[in-house]
Amino acid sequence: MATVSSALGEGSNVAVHCRQGIGRSGLIAAGILANSGVQPEQAIKIVSDARGLTIPETTDQRLWVQRLPTAPSVATRDR
């Protein structure tokens, strides 16, 4: 996600795609928003509204987006 966030920060366009466009791609799009400071539920709403479908596809995916802002970053985790 850091690569995509960095590209967006530089003004590049980014496309995210999966088979149906509601599971993994919705998860990543909402995750990028949540990681950039948008509240997770608002991020999910923004992406759902843009897609015209409720995203993400599963409860586990929704929980992942909700927990993302409080999760330690890869750079700060103990290895």
Q: Which stretches in the chain have pLDDT values below 50?
A: 74-79
In a domain, 23, yes or no: yes
Q: Are 51 and 26 in contact (CB under 8 A)?
A: yes
Domains held by the chain: number: 1
- With b meaning 16 or more CB within 10 Å and e meaning fewer, what string describes 18-55? eeeebebbbbbbbbbbbbeebebeebbbebbeeeeeeb
In a domain, 55, yes or no: yes
What is the reported pLDDT for 72? 66
In a domain, 3, yes or no: no
- At 56, give phi and psi (nearest 5°): -75, 180
What is the reported pLDDT for 79? 39
In a domain, 76, yes or no: no
In a domain, 1, yes or no: no
Nearest to 32 by CA among 2, 10, 75: 2
What is the reported pLDDT for 9? 87
33: containing domain: 16-69
